[in-house]
Amino acid sequence: MNKELLKKNLRVVPDYPVKGIMFFDVTTLFKNHKCLEEIVNGICDLYKGKGITKVVGIESRGFISAAAVAHRLGAGFVPIRKPGKLPADTVRETYSKEYGTDMIEIHTDAISEGDVVLVHDDILATGGTASAAVKLVRKFNPKAVYANFIIEIIDIPRSCPIPSDVEVTSLLQLGEKDY
């Protein structure tokens, strides 16, 4: 995995979406085919052989790599979205993040009890979105749940940690010295 290539192509936007937040813009990674290939290959290397049957992508940047990983692993792709974006019956979860609260939803028929699920998003910061996504997925009683991120911000306290029995991986671990 070429972590330096990913770091070199990552855009960091200060004070977005609010003052004091350093926003890691992964769209600059997605537009570079070599970076996108590194991301997909890196995630697939971590999860091949684990029996993943569904890859859950969190709106919206999580969709991009999650769909590619699902295809490569021979799994289905399931979106988690903001309220009102999914057309059929949903279940929802409210969560806290660095600058407020939010909600996410998943279709009620998205996951089965026998599924092995990989929850994927672009960034792990405080853990609010990821923790809420794991809670949503667990409502379906899957066989196993994993969580993966392109970037993990290591110097932000996890106000909403992902449960300790969920294996969490990330391709890049970035701290203040990296931006």
> What are the residue ranges spanned by the domains of the chain?
51-178
Distance CA(144)–CA(5), nearest Å, equals 32
* Of the candidate ranges 50-54, 73-77, 150-154, 175-179, the one whose mean pLDDT is the lowest: 175-179
CATH 3.40.50.2020 assigned to domain 51-178? The reply is: yes
Dump pLDDT digits (tens) for 75-104.
Answer: 999 999 999 999 999 999 998 766 678 999
pLDDT exceeding 90 applies to what percent of the chain? 84
| H or E element at residue 6 | helix 3-9
Please name the residue that has the structure tokens 């300790």. Answer: 164
Please name the residue that has the structure tokens 């929850």. Answer: 119
Q: Pairing relation of β-strands 22-25 and 11-14?
A: antiparallel
Q: Token pair for residue 157? A: 């306290």
Distance CA(80)–CA(63), nearest Å, equals 9
**What residue type is assigned to position 129 of the chain?**
T
Catalytic residue positions, numbered:
61, 98
Dump pLDDT digits (tens) for 119-147.
Answer: 999 999 989 999 999 999 999 999 999 99
Per-residue pLDDT at 99: 67
**What residue type is assigned to position 30 of the chain?**
F
47, 74 Cβ separation under 8 angstroms = no
Distance CA(150)–CA(173), nearest Å, equals 9
Burial class (CB in 10 A: 0-12, 13-18, 19+), 127: buried
Dump pLDDT digits (tens) for 55-76.
Answer: 999 999 999 999 999 999 999 9
Per-residue pLDDT at 98: 64
